A and B are shown apart, each in its own frame.
Chain A
Amino acid sequence: MGKVGIVGYGCHLPRHRIKVEEIAKVWGADAPSYKKGLMLREKSVPPPDCDTITLSVEATKNALRRAGGINTAEIGAIYIGSESHPYAVKPSGATVAEAIGATPDIHCADFEFACKAGSEAMFVCLGLVKAGEIKYGLAIGGDTSQGAPGDALEYSAAAGAAAFIMGSENLIAESIDTYSFMTDTPDFWRREYEFYPQHAGRYTGEPAYFKHTCGAAEGMMKKVGMKPADFTYAVFHQPNGKFPMRAGKMLGFTQEQMEPGWLSPTLGNTYSGASPIGLTSTLDIAKPGDTILMVSYGSGSGSDGFVWKVTDRIDEVRDKAVRTRKLLDENLIYIDYGTYAKFRHKIKKNA
């Protein structure tokens, strides 16, 4: 089997944003300390008509634009990783596959592993392509995540999706290798029938996020025989602005290497979409020959590592769809907490 990798990639973000100050005002919290402590300024908010399925469809349309007219009927697998699938029972992937005309010759499953579900979808698609089981695989990471009102997570829980079409021809970025690192670490969870997740406070840091993110990054680099300086860029899971920068620096990466994929200060934590969206914004500015390390993190806990090598085709396709930075920075609609509470169904109404 020859090379496998990304044939098309795309992102979609809601246009609505809420600022940290607006949330802090309601709960009597100190906005400057959140902004400084978590390095968060604002986050994306999905309007009531956006959910993981709609974000996934739009991200996929952008990936298809960059994939250059592939026949969607040849997509042999669709996996959506999310912790906010709109249905508890009924696959998100089926709707997305229907919307892009990829049914019925397709394998479909919805993935869940806290914030790591999107990279799992990428991991499995690459494997199936590599095994020759499918010609193309569609991997999506997307969420419209919820943080409990007043909880620290409310400042970061955001919405967005990234989609990748994996294949073996006309690659934009070749997958050099992958590596996964996982233990049972109860740092964050949501029980069945509960609306909001819970977390274990500072335990989510050192024994959870940092251990797994750094463990996967080190394992990945060891597996391919590379060191931080060998990479053009690095993208880490970003539950807030602070963690990925700290993990990267602990590993020996520079701010410059991480900057293009570091979106959380103004995007928030898009959960399953986080490191995949970071990869899209990095590909948006990457040059042929660049290498990118990507490491996801999902509570519970585990991390997937990927090493990508960008091909010549990037110059041809990057502007066939909207760039992620444009979606992040332009034409924003700022909302107040009341509107946010309505949009996110935090107000109890008659059924």
Chain B
Amino acid sequence: MYSARDWREYPRRYRLEAGKCKKCGKILFPARLICPKCGAREFETEMLPDTGKVLTFTVIRTAPSQFTDIAPYAIAIAELTNGVKLTAQLVDCDVNTVKVGMEVRIEFRRVQTDAYSGILSYGYKFVPKWY
């Protein structure tokens, strides 16, 4: 993971900044230059809500090397309360208890670690919404 590539994503990964199309209102995460729904090119920044529910999930048992310390881990696609869908890990739970429809909250976590000496990459993960 190279610093610049990681740094460029901070608005999305750190703050959940999305783009809302000024013409049709579609919320895009990540924000884009062209609205895929109406073709308009003007957007305003909107923060994503931090809760949603699981639409589908899996448990990664054979993990890429940067994730072996946390394997097995769940990956979920969740629909947030404003309808935006995104993919992230679902952590802090027994992977065998994850279910479609489960309510989740977004937390700030370390997502990748570049070996022992490289950059640390932070971002969003889902956790069960237990309070």
Contact = CB atoms under 8 A, between A and B. Distances in A.
Query: Do A and B share a direct contact in the complex (Cβ within 8 angstroms)?
Result: yes
Given A47-B92, A49-B91, A351-B115, A58 B107 contact: yes
A223 to B, nearest CB: 38
A57 B109 CA distance: 9
A173 interface: no
Interface in B34-84: 69-70
Interface residues of B, number: 21
A55 to B, nearest CB: 9
A98 B14 contact: yes
A208 B16 CA distance: 45
A48 B120 contact: no
Contacts of A50: 109-110
Contact of B69 (A48, A95, A100, A326): A48
A343 B109 CA distance: 14
Interface residues of A, number: 26
Given A95-B122, A99-B14, A331-B130, A54 B70 contact: no
A95 B109 CA distance: 12
Given A47-B92, A333-B92, A57 B108 contact: yes
Contacts of B125: 49
B2 interface: no
A101 B15 contact: yes
A236 B9 CA distance: 41
A342 interface: yes
A330 interface: yes
B10 A48 contact: no
A134 interface: no
Nearest to B125: A49
Interface of B: 10, 14-15, 69-70, 89, 91-92, 94, 107-111, 115-116, 120, 122, 125, 130-131
Of all A-B residue pairs in the complex, the 7 with the closest CB atoms, nearest first, are A57-B108, A49-B109, A99-B14, A49-B110, A331-B130, A48-B69, A54-B108
25 contacts: A47-B70, A47-B92, A48-B70, A48-B110, A49-B89, A49-B91, A49-B109, A49-B111, A51-B110, A51-B120, A53-B122, A54-B108, A54-B110, A54-B122, A57-B108, A86-B120, A95-B122, A98-B10, A98-B15, A99-B15, A99-B122, A101-B15, A330-B130, A331-B131, A351-B115
